[in-house]
Structure 1
Amino acid sequence: MASTPGLRALDVLGIAVTLHPYSYDANADRIGMAAAEALGLDPKLTLKCLMVEVDGKPACCVIPSDGQLSMKRVAAAFGGKAAAMMPPAKAEKLTGYHVGGISPFGQKRQVPTAFEAGACAAPKVWINAGARGLLLGIMPADALRATSGKAAALLA
């Protein structure tokens, strides 16, 4: 199984995860939803990692695959006035991951991270492990600890 910066970062922290490979479809309209379907997982617990800019500063939002960000809520979660999606090329350069495989763990540069609060109540969630076609299962409390993240209302 491929080792990614995200998996190595979690290993250093002693955080146990389960690995869930699947057949990645680069042409899927909604990659997170395609991953949930391929693995038979609940889309509300299969989280996607979205890179944003809040008042021009990078941040990471982790939300359910079937959800959509509220930029107003994102800005508020990070104490800013305005938020926007980060352009894909910039997200890839900042994180060291390719779009479709961006993980909140082991990014080249750690940025403030927020997880959708509703998903943090689940016993386990699935998040990209840092490679297209590979999710990891993790307890939300461990995901928050690994990213120094916080739970916030992020959905539209």
Structure 2
Amino acid sequence: MSKSTRATLALSAAKVDFEVLIYDYNPDADRIGIQAAEAIGVSPSIVLKTLMAEVDGKAVCVVVPSDREVSMKKLATAFKGKSANMMKPPAAEKVTGFVVGGISPFGQKKKVPTVFEIEAMAHDAVFMNGGQRGLQVRLSPEDARKAADAFAASVIA
């Protein structure tokens, strides 16, 4: 497995301090973020999942703790839209250039507006997908938010 991905290259280019962690990815896991947290031995609340959605038909990226669910109403509101829905996996892969289970908010093929759940910003460090299955990066949530050119809002149910 390569430790160099479009996501890690984007973090390096943004001059962000981060640590790479490799773990055994389980493609059969019901919840990928929860499985990643278990594999690296940390709380699911600090392992952030990257989800792709659409607000009023436009692609957006949303980053939330892996043990929480996105409120579509709050997501739409955060982007000043009327309605939101999760993007289908093939569309998410096409927009990001990453495969599901390896989607990162960093280094996506197409730049889309991004929001981080505000609760995630309260931690000293968080873990996020590093651009491929079985690869997480550990970094400060504020550095992550800046590197993803994102804003923070309440988007969880």
Alpha-carbon RMSD: 0.7
How many positions carry a matched residue from both structures?
A: 156
Report SS of the residue matched to 1:131: coil
| Runs (5+) with no aligned partner, structure 1 | none
Normalised to the residue count of structure 1, the TM-score between the two structures is 0.98
Report SS of the residue matched to 1:92: helix
Normalised to the residue count of structure 2, the TM-score between the two structures is 0.98
Query: Matches of 1:79 and 1:130 in 2, distance apart?
Result: 28
After TM superposition, the structure 1 = structure 2 runs for residues 1-156 of structure 1, keeping only pairs within 5 Å, are: 1-156=2-157
Question: Structure 1 residue 2: deviation in Å?
Answer: 2.7
Report SS of the residue matched to 1:73: helix
Contact 2:128 2:137 survives alignment (8 Å): yes
Question: Structure 1 residue 121: deviation in Å?
Answer: 1.1
Amino acid at match of 1:74: L
Query: Matches of 2:72 and 2:100 in 1, distance apart?
Result: 20
Report SS of the residue matched to 1:84: strand
| Runs (5+) with no aligned partner, structure 2 | none
Amino acid at match of 2:124: P
Q: Deviations over 1:106-148 (max 9, x none)?
A: 0001111001101101111000000000000011111111111
Query: Matches of 1:25 and 1:33 in 2, distance apart?
Result: 11
Query: Matches of 1:125 and 1:50 in 2, distance apart?
Result: 16
Amino acid at match of 1:44: S
Query: Matches of 2:14 and 2:150 in 1, distance apart?
Result: 15
Report SS of the residue matched to 1:44: helix
- Percent identity at matched positions? 50
Regions of 4+ moved over 4 Å: none
Question: Structure 1 residue 52: deviation in Å?
Answer: 0.2
